[in-house]
Structure 1
Amino acid sequence: MTGPLLLGVRHHGPGSARAVRGALEAAEPQVLLVEGPPEADAVVGLAAHEEMRPPVALLAHAGGSGGRGSGGERSLAAFWPLAGFSPEWVAIRWALARGVPVRFIDLPAAHSLALAAEQASGASPAAEPEEFTSDPLAALAEAAGHEDAERWWEDAVEHLGGPDTDQPLRLFAELEEAMAALRADAGGVARRDALREAHMRLRIREACREFAPERTAVVCGAWHVPALREHATATADRSLLKGLPKVKAEVTWVPWTHRRLTRRSGYGAGISSPGWYAHLHAVPDRPVERWLTRVADLLREEDVGAVSPAHVIEAVRLAQALAALRGRPLAGLDETTEAVRSVLCGGSDVPLALVHDRLTVGDVLGEVPQDAPAVPLQRDLERSQRTLRLKPSPESREHEFDLRREIDTERSRLLHRLGLLGIEWGTPRTPRAGTGTFRESWVLRWEPELSVRTAEAGMWGTTVREAAEARASARAAEADDLAELTELAERVLRAALPEALPRVTRALADRAALESEVGRLASALPALVRAVRYGDVRGSDPASLAAVAYAVADRVRTGLPSACSGLDAEGAAQLRTHLDAAHRAVHLLDQPSAEPTPPTPPTALRHGAERPQAPAAEPQTPAGELLARWRSMLRLLSERPSVPGLLRGRCSRLLLDDGELSSAGAARHLSLGLSPTEEPTEAAAWAEGFLSGGGLLLAHDERLLALFDDWLTTLGPDAFTAVLPVLRRAFAEFDPGVRRTLGELVRRGPGTSSPESTTSDGLPGFADTLDTTRADAALGTLRLLLAAPVPAEEANR
């Protein structure tokens, strides 16, 4: 056949790779043309670098800030993955080893990225249906009577003999004939394929003019070979390519993994068994026996069953017998998998899943030399890693950061900025010791995929800080959920991005002003308040967020009374969750005034005294005013009959825990909530709301326990059965020790306490005066716990 040598392959096929090597060694071309972006000509020489380890990928991305789409919301990037068993990789390595020039001939990335952006935005013409281009081999397998394209391809190509026969050239001729028939049946190709093939023909003509046509070899997808044989004129091809959109594109190498080869992206990736294909490519001699030996080694290493050499021999025999029964030239992945399940795994799919994950797919990680070009963002990240002494490692490593140290603060900011960019190098964890805001715990693990994400994130800026600010600003403009915006504000503060914070704050304020749903406002408040409360720890200025937080908290306060009316049981339960979260958030917003109010003695709070208020003449801070208004709202809700019992009981408990409700007041609320005039289910809901903060209160205040006990004993059988699920749910939240104590008190009978635990009117509960003798017994232990000094008068005793 005259003209260039066209080798149509299946991307990521070891059989194609062996056939390509055999054809190249037989033809000895003077130039090699490969399907891929021409911009990669400048970096193709790195494929021969001793530090290059496949799988790797060619990454094409829009260079500089021009890589952002409209509004900077879309990444302009594309990948061409190459494994060690990819025909393109084998051909490139063969050519570089012999000094043969390698050129890429596909449509330039500058055009393909621009076309992809237009198609995503709907500006490009609709593509024609691609009936066969997605997987033409599946159509060939179906024509051959095979339902499984992978199995057919293994039989037809992967299990061919070595390259010392005439099989390679015959194989490519047969594939070209089959693809020509498929294209004829398709009746045309999509516009994108037509553009790509036109550019390939132009590059092939250039190479043929420079070298002899018979000394020109082309490695491309088999689907394109018939089109490259066409005698379309150069004028027609140039006319088709005229006026294409264009962006500035850059190309480099990035690490890849076998696991990512299972995804569909570039070069028709999406093979289901890259580990198996890599094995077939590396071990052409007795692949089944060697594969089953690897499986046995893995199972022994993981201590899964007792696998002996006899098991391996039996598994090989079973795989070969299955292949013979099915008329296959060699046992394939299906036969070996069935043999592994039956013989090595004892019929269990659990160890078989391990084999699939570790061997059939595999965890092979590629490597790229340091000489490879990198996007500016990646270089900035590498500088930061060196400066902060955070070395990337594929192993998980835990780090504890003390934010009072400058280097730890910068480390934390770097990880939070990377998180905003989707580069999840670190995963935050709860610190092992302490809950202070000056401590952070991270687990760091660098995976090759993060290099890809770093390259993708390069469209947002040239430094980590600039990129994170741009990404946060774009997310603020896109977000339509208030909770998402408050979380974003918290992350921006933790990442110390002052340029992005005003944009996020404005978006948050605008969205909060439009939000009318109290539940959404209340659910968004905690993250917003955390950002305000902990901003000072990181050296940030959350003052702008504080005004938004006060406004949101005040809107929750004014909206709750109307939102609490007319709710069913499910709605009341949801609103109770929002009420608790908002209550905690309002407390965090509470800041002391210039002259803080003296703290109330603990004994006064225990005895039920109301918390003393600041003098009227002393101005309160806005937060203090908010908290006072919030508690007034809780009082209103706790006494309003139209509010569901669950919420009334919860408001009473919150007031009691805050010291705003005395023991006598709590008893009055409880008597009203459990009044015989209340429906039993509504009274039980009140009890659930009141008790949801914990049952230690009932264990120490027997007056309240007696009220609960009296209410329960007055219920009839039907009413008791109706309220039992609610009460069971409420008491199930108590700690086992509290439940045991309450059981003992009930068995003894409430109201039989000692005189020291009764009030002046003889009722059980907290006494009116402190029993100093009993209190002094605990002072020694408390001093040891708090490391407090012993008073001189006690030391002299």
Structure 2
Amino acid sequence: MTSPAEDAAPAWPAGSGPLFLGVRHHGPGSARAVRAALDAASPLAVLIEGPPEGDALVSLAGDPQMRPPVALLAHAVDDPGRAAFWPLADFSPEWVAIRWALAHDVPVRFIDLPATHSLAFTEGDGEGDGRPDGETDPDDGGAGTDLDPEARVQALRIDPLAVLAEAAGYDDAERWWEDVVEHRAAADDPFAPFAAVGEAMGALREEYGDGGHRRDLVREAYMRLQLRSARKEFGDDRVAVVCGAWHVPALGARTTATADRALLKGLPKVKSEMTWVPWTHHRLARHSGYGAGIDSPGWYGHLFGAPDRPVERWMTKVAGLLREEDQPISSAHVIEAVRLAETLATMRGRPLAGLTETTDAIRAVMCDGSDVPLGLIRDRLIVGDVLGEVPDSAPAVPLQRDLTRLQRSLRLKPEALERELELDLRKETDAGRGRMLHRLRLLGIGWGEASAGRGSTGTFRETWRLRWEPELYVRVAEAGVWGTTVHSAATAKAESRAVSATALSDVTALAEQCLLAELTDALPVVMSALADRAALDADVGHLAQALPALARSLRYGDVRSTDTAALGEVASGLAERICVGLPPACAALDADGAAEMRGHLDGVHAAIGLLPDAPDRPAGDLAGRWGAVLRKLAARDTVPGVIRGRSARLLLDDGRLPEDEAARLMGLALSPGAPPADAAAWIEGFVGGASGGGMLLVHDERLLALVDTWLTGVPAGSFTDVLPLLRRTFSAYEPGVRRTLGELVRRGPAGGGPRPDRPEAGIPGFGTGIDESRADAVLPVLRLLLGGPPPVGHDNDNDNDNDHAGVAR
């Protein structure tokens, strides 16, 4: 049912020529005005600023599965990375015009420059349009391309809205547009606003010129040609044109078809394809790249969708969001916030409370003056986390179709809001999800980012942070050159990377990726490349950097039941070469080189612990050789202190170095004859980092006493040199560990503390030895926990008694 005002609305007068509806892209006020004007004029055809390749896809806008925001995506067939988007929201005037035409069975056509030409523009073609890549000013634009932003900023075009706002006495163009368009009540004459906007733009173009940008001139020439064709087909006054307000004067200008065709002569071309893709509000809010350049799509969507009382409805949405976050928001808060917003609008001379007024009211009434909750409101409501949907019938590259199939079968729907996904690889569905995400990462489609999980650190668990971005559709199109399915494309790309890789670390990382993604067909090629690179690379640092990835690959291969025998042979060979070459490589290193080598030392040590023993060698042979290498490094004076200290610590942790020997090595490293800087480096290697060195000092009073005695004897001139190193070492400890160490040092020898000359002395709270009888009482409980058999000669009742005794003790 229409209102009396709408019933009395005048029709578009005959003989007036085409109906030009100059709009602001993604403006809800413009969208409402376009709908009202189309209802009044009832044109026989609707022409819309956009790529003509979209004509074949426009009918999909009426599909029930189509849910904006969406975008037309065009990409070059031979270079999918060269792409452009034309985003549309439900409050976009173009989308409203499309839906109106489909609902009234009226032909709708796009009349802007074809994507086959716009994608081919380069810097030499004078592509610059005065804005960064993809950015849209309030009255124009809407497409983002992959052209270099620096190539496009050749001359600055005026911002027409800023000029009009300044003429009206506003210092904010956005606020002016809201007051005169977005918050404007329905007019008696639906065509009057567009006539006024067209007149204003004509005056601006007369004053400032048309900008002279080649692409704009070419676009307008093409649109005029399409308009002439439509006028001949449907009649002069039966065609409606929806375009950026800036173009209205140019489309109505008196020019000849010959002159327009001359501008289009010789345009570059590329073969292109086009489809619909889902878009997000976050992308609409971005001012560069593929964004559409509006700050508050969620707010605009609310204004367009609210039938009445938009401020009250908005405050209710905000209250609901805050309540979901356990904030105590009542109805009284909503009422007071509405009153304050309306009062602010009156004081500021605005026809209706806008986003600025509502935000100020929310901050004061609902957030107690804090901006912290406003960040959540902006992200969830003002911008919004909406992800559009497109129907299955939309064209797509084969790889995209296979990815969509996988997403459905694995029940992993793309979402605009970032979320964390925990996978248990022992479950078939989770294992399939992990394979798909790893394959996509190998293809450069960064839907998921692996992260450290909160749960188990076992190899059967993975944690991912997922967020789907619209430009990933471009990445999928680019990856389509490798294959038609995710599996085949990932396999082909892995093989290609293996052949072209030059660094050993790159090939080992690729081998790990192949195992994680279960690309068994690519592994032979990768393993062959790995063996070749490993045989030719003589740099111990490169070998040490590559080994951990191979060890992890073997470990992941076990949980995924992958044959890793060939990988194990390569890894064992690398480990042996490292054992031979590491001692000479550690001699005469500077501080930076020593720090880097210490990292390699930790990585190799952990990797060797994961490597299986070769069948032609006795068990433990590789681990024994590595232990001998660590002993050499710990005892050599030519090796930097940080490496000697780290080697001693690794031996101590593995039980290969007695505590007395560790204390002796520390005593030598911290002797008065040792340079203070070298001694501090030894301490950093022995007890630094996240290796539990603080607890080692807490429980071994001899080592703590050695450090304390050395530190108090450092000469004053050298103390300032070693202080930063020591501070870095001890600041990494947990606060409780640092507090305990400070208490032990404070007590000192006078409080019964340990002394180098009396290592058996204890301090209050610490025993001088191990109470073996109390320790034995815990063994039955440990057997139950670990699932081991009960000791011979013990029955269950005795075990239970011992369990209780052990717990009591």
| TM-score, normalising length: structure 2 | 0.78
1:466 maps onto 2:472 in alignment: no
Whether the 8 Å CA contact 1:159–1:330 is kept in 2: the answer is yes
Whether the 8 Å CA contact 2:51–2:111 is kept in 1: the answer is yes
One-letter code aligned to 1:788? G
Of the structure 1 ranges 713-722 and 146-155, higher mean CA displacement relative to structure 2 is found in 713-722
Change (3 A) 1:283 1:731: closer
Secondary structure of the 1:103 match is strand
Q: List alignment gaps of at least 5 residues for structure 1.
A: 600-613, 615-623, 756-763
Tell me how far apart the structure 1 counterparts of residues 157 and 699 of structure 2 sit (CA, whole Å): 77
1:638 maps onto 2:634 in alignment: yes
Per-residue deviation, 1:26:
2.5
Per-residue deviation, 1:632:
5.2
**1:650-673 deviations in Å (ceiling 9; x for gaps):** 222233444554556445423321
One-letter code aligned to 1:81? P
2:356 to 314, 334, 337: 334
Q: List alignment gaps of at least 5 residues for structure 2.
A: 1-14, 128-144, 762-766, 799-809
**1:425-449 deviations in Å (ceiling 9; x for gaps):** 5555667775443x12446867574
Change (3 A) 1:258 1:411: closer
Tell me how far apart the structure 2 counterparts of residues 553 and 220 of structure 1 sit (CA, whole Å): 70
Aligned length: 746
Alignment correspondent of 2:649: 653
Per-residue deviation, 1:556:
9.3
Change (3 A) 1:513 1:33: farther
Tell me how far apart the structure 2 counterparts of residues 514 and 259 of structure 1 sit (CA, whole Å): 49
Whether the 8 Å CA contact 1:78–1:266 is kept in 2: the answer is no
Superposition map of 1:150-161 within 5 A: 150-161=174-185
**1:149-201 deviations in Å (ceiling 9; x for gaps):** 211211232222315x2253343443354256337624643222233222222
Alignment correspondent of 1:240: 263
Tell me how far apart the structure 1 counterparts of residues 153 and 323 of structure 2 sit (CA, whole Å): 52
Alignment correspondent of 2:26: 12
Alignment correspondent of 2:91: 85
Superposition map of 1:255-404 within 5 A: 255-264=278-287, 269-283=292-306, 285-309=308-332, 311-388=333-410, 398=421, 400-403=423-426
Superposition map of 1:644-723 within 5 A: 644-658=640-654, 660-661=656-657, 665-692=661-688, 693-694=691-692
Change (3 A) 1:495 1:704: same
Alignment correspondent of 1:206: 229
Secondary structure of the 1:114 match is coil
1:43 maps onto 2:57 in alignment: yes
One-letter code aligned to 1:31? A
Identity of aligned residues (%): 55
Tell me how far apart the structure 1 counterparts of residues 35 and 387 of structure 2 sit (CA, whole Å): 24
Per-residue deviation, 1:737:
8.1
Tell me how far apart the structure 1 counterparts of residues 579 and 180 of structure 2 sit (CA, whole Å): 69
1:249 maps onto 2:263 in alignment: no
Secondary structure of the 2:191 match is helix
Tell me how far apart the structure 2 counterparts of residues 389 and 15 of structure 1 sit (CA, whole Å): 39
Whether the 8 Å CA contact 1:704–1:765 is kept in 2: the answer is no
**1:344-375 deviations in Å (ceiling 9; x for gaps):** 33322223333322322223332333333333
**1:218-250 deviations in Å (ceiling 9; x for gaps):** 111122222222344333433433444434433
Secondary structure of the 2:212 match is coil
Alignment correspondent of 1:610: none
Per-residue deviation, 1:551:
5.0
Tell me how far apart the structure 1 counterparts of residues 150 and 675 of structure 2 sit (CA, whole Å): 67
Per-residue deviation, 1:702:
7.2
1:191 to 176, 201, 214: 214
Alignment correspondent of 1:25: 39
One-letter code aligned to 1:780? P
Whether the 8 Å CA contact 2:437–2:448 is kept in 1: the answer is yes
Change (3 A) 1:91 1:552: farther
Alignment correspondent of 2:248: 225
Alignment correspondent of 2:170: 146
Alignment correspondent of 1:618: none
**1:48-70 deviations in Å (ceiling 9; x for gaps):** 223332222222234xxxx353x
Change (3 A) 1:668 1:451: closer
One-letter code aligned to 1:691? V
Tell me how far apart the structure 1 counterparts of residues 643 and 291 of structure 2 sit (CA, whole Å): 58
Whether the 8 Å CA contact 1:275–1:361 is kept in 2: the answer is yes
Secondary structure of the 2:237 match is helix
Whether the 8 Å CA contact 1:700–1:765 is kept in 2: the answer is no
**1:442-476 deviations in Å (ceiling 9; x for gaps):** 46867574874675456444211233345557877
Whether the 8 Å CA contact 1:261–1:274 is kept in 2: the answer is yes
Whether the 8 Å CA contact 1:53–1:368 is kept in 2: the answer is yes
Per-residue deviation, 1:520:
7.0
Whether the 8 Å CA contact 2:423–2:462 is kept in 1: the answer is yes
Tell me how far apart the structure 2 counterparts of residues 444 and 690 of structure 1 sit (CA, whole Å): 35
One-letter code aligned to 1:107? L
Tell me how far apart the structure 1 counterparts of residues 505 and 118 of structure 2 sit (CA, whole Å): 38
Whether the 8 Å CA contact 2:680–2:725 is kept in 1: the answer is yes
Change (3 A) 1:194 1:710: closer
Whether the 8 Å CA contact 2:81–2:146 is kept in 1: the answer is no
One-letter code aligned to 1:75? G
Tell me how far apart the structure 2 counterparts of residues 180 and 289 of structure 1 sit (CA, whole Å): 39
Change (3 A) 1:124 1:355: closer
One-letter code aligned to 1:92? I
Per-residue deviation, 1:33:
0.7
**1:671-727 deviations in Å (ceiling 9; x for gaps):** 321222123453343233223444566677777677667757877899889878766
Per-residue deviation, 1:139:
4.0
Superposition map of 1:585-664 within 5 A: 585-589=607-611, 591-597=613-619, 624=622, 631=627, 633-658=629-654, 660-661=656-657
Per-residue deviation, 1:515:
9.0
One-letter code aligned to 2:170? H
Change (3 A) 1:431 1:686: closer
Alignment correspondent of 2:109: 103
Change (3 A) 1:655 1:364: closer
2:73 to 44, 52, 59: 59
**1:389-438 deviations in Å (ceiling 9; x for gaps):** 656678968554335x766544431121123345555555667775443x
